[in-house]
Amino acid sequence: MRLLVLLSRVPYPLEKGDKLRAYHLISRLAERHEVYLFCLSDTRTPQEHIDHLKGFCAHIEVVHIGRWRILLKLLTAVFTRLPFQVAYFHHGHAQRRIDAAIERFKPDHVFCQLVRTTEYVRHRYDLPKTLDYMDTLSKGMERRTETAAFHLRPIFRAETRRLIRYENLMFDQFDHSVIISAQDRDYIYHPWRDRMAVVPNGVDTDHFTPQQVEVRYDLLFTGNMNYPPNIDSVLFLVNKVLPLVRRERPETSLLISGVDPSANVRDLARTDPLISVTGWVKDIRSSYAASHVFVAPMQIGTGLQNKILEAMAMRIPCITSALANNAVGAPTGEAVLIGDTPEEYAELILRLLADPAERERIAANGYRFVREHFDWGRSARALEDLITGVPHDAPAPAAALPSQC
């Protein structure tokens, strides 16, 4: 099969959740199909990143979108019904490049990740299309509205309404719809949302494995540290939870590790010598391995938290929120601990830091759980079955020839 894949970002390096999901699914689809990877980018892409992707994609094209184009499009989007984050990525010069790629490549199927890319192919009724919503952007925007600054709330509410309408419209214009979790599927407002296929993320258990290194930090939070739900979570941890923990354990340290920390996250390390903010690290495994307990008190956001899967795969005990674990589905009290209030989080943290045997019990259960339930190969096969219409376990017709896809 000739598969055209349309992304809103270049899916390498793997510092963001949408990149991680796209990279692992596409690299596995490319083992059996000819993939034409078409990426939008609002930054210049180093050639070595493109060369890496050429290792498994038959063709790759990156269209750079200049900042002035984005600003102009956002200004004109005010007078349309298009969500701002869809308008951000949709531009005439990119449309012409995609149209030309379709005519040149003649794909058998088009795969779009996120509704941000769908405007480019929504009217191509001649092509079978699959949309990976990934998570429910409208729900994430709705949650951000609750904690946003007062002057931003009207904008966020308007974007929430636009996203709800647009998500429903795209549901009707694509042949197949995919989403990352049953929880996110239930946030979609479309009456036929149960028809969406749930394709969860996996975790690379050959890469994320337990390591025996010196543990230098008590607590760890990882993620894209310019992403609002992650910023909200780490500020909640530092400002609400950590002071309660330090009443009993004053020396408690925290490592905040992840790309592009915002100014208010960087400031945490300047005012507290026991807090370290790394920014981007070459190998995130070193941050996991150097910490006793992983804590992700996610208060807003949607989707599946890859950071929790990675921590479990590295045999690190995890404390998180019910919101985050609803998508993961780990057994509460066995494979993961769940907090709600600052007091509950502090109690769980103190319990694990004081009891190595309990840390090992939670870590071992989480390790087994993630290896049994989250596998990129299994997720890619589910997506491939949907796209091709041929289940992997379907018996071949008696006189069928081997597939040439």
What domain range is 382 assigned to? Answer: 2-202+376-388
Q: State whether 13 and 107 are in the same domain.
A: yes
Q: What is the pLDDT of residue 390?
A: 82
Q: State whether 16 and 78 are in the same domain.
A: yes
- Kindly write down the DSSP assignment for every residue of 374-390, as one continuous string: --HHHHHHHHHHHHHS-
Q: What is the per-residue pLDDT across 264-279, written as a single tens digit (0 to 9) for each?
A: 999 999 999 999 999 9
Q: State whether 243 and 148 are in the same domain.
A: no
Q: State whether 270 and 354 are in the same domain.
A: yes
Q: What is the pLDDT of residue 394?
A: 53
Q: Say if residues 134 and 114 touch (Cβ distance below 8 Å).
A: yes
The H or E element spanning position 364 is helix 356-373
**What is the C-alpha separation between 87 and 81, in angstroms, rounded?**
10
Phi and psi, residue 231, nearest 5°: -60, -45
Q: Judge whether 405 lies within some domain.
A: no
Q: What is the pLDDT of residue 148?
A: 87
Q: What is the pLDDT of residue 401?
A: 33
Q: Say if residues 222 and 306 touch (Cβ distance below 8 Å).
A: no
* pLDDT over 90 (residue 200): yes
Q: State whether 116 and 32 are in the same domain.
A: yes
Q: Which of 139, 130, 186, 131 is CA-nearest to residue 159? A: 139
Residue 278: both structure tokens together: 């790394």
Instruction: State the pTM of this model.
Output: 0.89
Angle at 65 between CA 38 and CA 163, to 5 degrees: 80
Sheet holding 291-296, edge to edge: 275-277, 254-257, 217-222, 291-296, 318-321, 337-339
Q: Judge whether 208 lies within some domain.
A: no
Angle at 113 between CA 233 and CA 330, to 5 degrees: 45
Q: What is the per-residue pLDDT across 224-246, written as a single tens digit (0 to 9) for each?
A: 999 999 999 999 999 999 999 99
| 11-to-16, 39, 40, 303 alpha-carbon distances in Å | 9, 8, 10, 18
* pLDDT over 90 (residue 72): yes
> 129-134 and 176-179 as β-strands: parallel, antiparallel, unpaired?
parallel
Q: Judge whether 210 lies within some domain.
A: no
Q: What is the pLDDT of residue 400?
A: 35
**What is the C-alpha separation between 87 and 163, in angstroms, rounded?**
11
Q: What is the pLDDT of residue 393?
A: 63
Average the pLDDT over 2-7 and give the result.
Answer: 98
Q: Judge whether 282 lies within some domain.
A: yes
Question: Measured between alpha carbons, how far apart are the two ends of the chain, in Å?
Answer: 4
Q: State whether 18 and 59 are in the same domain.
A: yes
* Residue 263 CB neighbour total at 10 angstroms: 7
Domain count, the chain: 2
Average the pLDDT over 293-315 and give the result.
Answer: 93
* Residue 376 CB neighbour total at 10 angstroms: 20
Q: What is the pLDDT of residue 52?
A: 97
Average the pLDDT over 290-319 and give the result.
Answer: 94
Q: State whether 120 and 249 are in the same domain.
A: no
Structure confidence at residue 392 as a pLDDT band (50, 70, 90): low
Q: What is the pLDDT of residue 402?
A: 34
- Kindly write down the DSSP assignment for every residue of 198-266, as one continuous string: E------TTTS--------EEEEEES-TTSHHHHHHHHHIIIIIHHHHHHH-TT--EEEE-SS--HHHH
**What is the C-alpha separation between 230 and 147, in angstroms, rounded?**
13
**What is the C-alpha separation between 177 and 348, in angstroms, rounded?**
38
Q: Judge whether 396 lies within some domain.
A: no
Q: State whether 99 and 247 are in the same domain.
A: no
For the CA atoms of 164, 165, 166, 168, what is the dihedral angle to 10 degrees? Answer: 80
Q: State whether 228 and 100 are in the same domain.
A: no
Peptide bond just before 200 cis, omega within 30 deg: no
Q: Judge whether 367 lies within some domain.
A: yes
* pLDDT over 50 (residue 396): no
Average the pLDDT over 72-78 and give the result.
Answer: 94
> 34-41 and 2-7 as β-strands: parallel, antiparallel, unpaired?
parallel
Q: State whether 134 and 185 are in the same domain.
A: yes
Q: What is the pLDDT of residue 260?
A: 93
* pLDDT over 50 (residue 397): no
Q: Judge whether 207 lies within some domain.
A: no
Q: Judge whether 140 lies within some domain.
A: yes
**What is the C-alpha separation between 54 and 36, in angstroms, rounded?**
10
Q: State whether 362 and 331 are in the same domain.
A: yes
Residue 83: both structure tokens together: 């969500």
Sheet holding 59-64, edge to edge: 59-64, 34-41, 2-7, 109-113, 129-134, 176-179, 197-198
Whichever domain contains 38, its CATH number is 3.40.50.2000
Q: State whether 99 and 145 are in the same domain.
A: yes
